[in-house]
């Protein structure tokens, strides 16, 4: 390969935004010559490398843009220590059919039983399958809604919020909110009901949600919309963190 041809390939691959092609074409040419590959086989090999690199980069970008606080994977779960209801339903949830069907998941139970780990694990797997995901906490979501409302960008936020294939709302029940916050949360979760999937993690049973909203009618309506055809996972059990602390104290 002459220097002139090499420079031309680099030039055009830059223009066409083919970074993997640009970085690999020389090594592939050497290997193709050794294997006595045809020109078509050489070109196909380069195109496959470019394609699969882009697929992997897209997955990484989806995970990064989702805003996960940590990377928790489903294969890292100590499934034998999960509450029984979660152990039974997790294999079904891992298929992600709930996203295709626009169904919700509510992970409800005491702290430390794996609710957030499961939610993030499902979210990361969804990103890897090219679904658009958002992770947020309920307090952060309400803050964003308030800010968007005050800056007159609420419609733009609503449009973006509706488009996510999966929204994970963590920490539902840790902080109460006022009437405006309750109404805004209700409105925006309702926008997704029956069309797009939402995962809620909460340490409160449904009969205590009115403590957050301060309005029994609003609470009843939200529970009805969120739980319609949803997966309700009972996450009550011994805390992983408490179990680990007990084991450390024994040493």
Question: Token pair 């031309």 is at which residue?
Answer: 8
Query: Which pLDDT score, from 0 to 100, does residue 245 have?
Result: 62
Query: Which pLDDT score, from 0 to 100, does residue 187 have?
Result: 86
User: Cα–Cα distances in Å, from 192 out to 140, 161, 162, 239?
Assistant: 18, 8, 6, 31
Whether residue 243 is predicted with pLDDT greater than 80 in this model: the reply is no
Q: What is the mean pLDDT of residues 139-148?
A: 90
For residue 248, name the pLDDT band (cuts at 50, 70, 90): low
pLDDT tens for 15-68 read 768 788 777 777 877 777 777 778 788 788 888 888 888 888 899 999 999 999
Q: What is the mean pLDDT of residues 148-154?
A: 82
Q: Which domains does the chain have, with CATH numbers?
A: 3-65 (no CATH), 70-247 (3.40.50.300)
Mean pLDDT of the chain: 86
Whether residue 1 is predicted with pLDDT greater than 70 in this model: the reply is no
Phi, psi dihedrals of residue 199, rounded to the nearest 5°: -110, 125
Q: What is the mean pLDDT of residues 90-101?
A: 96
pLDDT tens for 213-230 read 877 888 888 888 888 889
Q: How many angstroms separate the CA atoms of 84 and 139, rounded? A: 29
Distance in Å from the first CA to the final CA of the chain:
65
Whether residue 189 is predicted with pLDDT greater than 70 in this model: the reply is yes
Residue 44 token pair: 């196909």
**Model's pTM, two decimal places?**
0.83
Q: How many angstroms separate the CA atoms of 30 and 205, rounded? A: 64
Catalogue the E-assigned strands of the chain: 105-108, 133-137, 166-172, 197-202, 231-234
Percent of the chain whose pLDDT exceeds 70: 94
């Amino acid at each position: 390969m002459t220097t002139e041809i090499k420079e031309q390939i680099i030039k055009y691959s830059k223009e066409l935004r083919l970074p993997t092609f640009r970085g690999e074409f020389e090594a592939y040419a050497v290997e193709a010559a050794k294997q006595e590959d045809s020109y078509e086989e050489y070109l196909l090999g380069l195109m496959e490398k470019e394609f699969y690199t882009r697929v992997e980069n897209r997955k990484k970008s989806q995970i990064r843009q989702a805003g996960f606080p940590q990377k928790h994977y489903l294969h890292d779960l100590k499934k034998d220590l999960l509450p029984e209801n979660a152990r039974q339903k997790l294999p079904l949830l891992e298929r992600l059919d709930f996203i295709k069907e626009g169904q919700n998941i509510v992970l409800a139970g005491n702290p430390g039983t794996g609710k957030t780990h499961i939610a993030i694990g499902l979210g990361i797997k969804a990103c890897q399958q090219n679904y658009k995901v958002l992770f947020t906490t309920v307090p952060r979501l309400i803050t964003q809604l308030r800010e968007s409302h005050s800056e007159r960008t609420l419609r733009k936020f609503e449009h973006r919020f509706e488009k996510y294939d999966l929204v994970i709302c963590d920490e539902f029940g840790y902080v109460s909110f006022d009437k405006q916050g309750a109404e805004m949360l209700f409105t925006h979760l309702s926008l997704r009901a029956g069309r797009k999937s939402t995962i809620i993690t909460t340490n409160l049973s449904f009969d205590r949600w009115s403590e957050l909203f301060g309005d029994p009618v609003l609470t009843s309506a939200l529970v009805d919309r969120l739980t319609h055809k949803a997966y309700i996972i009972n996450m009550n059990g011994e805390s992983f963190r408490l179990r680990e602390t007990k084991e450390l104290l024994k040493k």
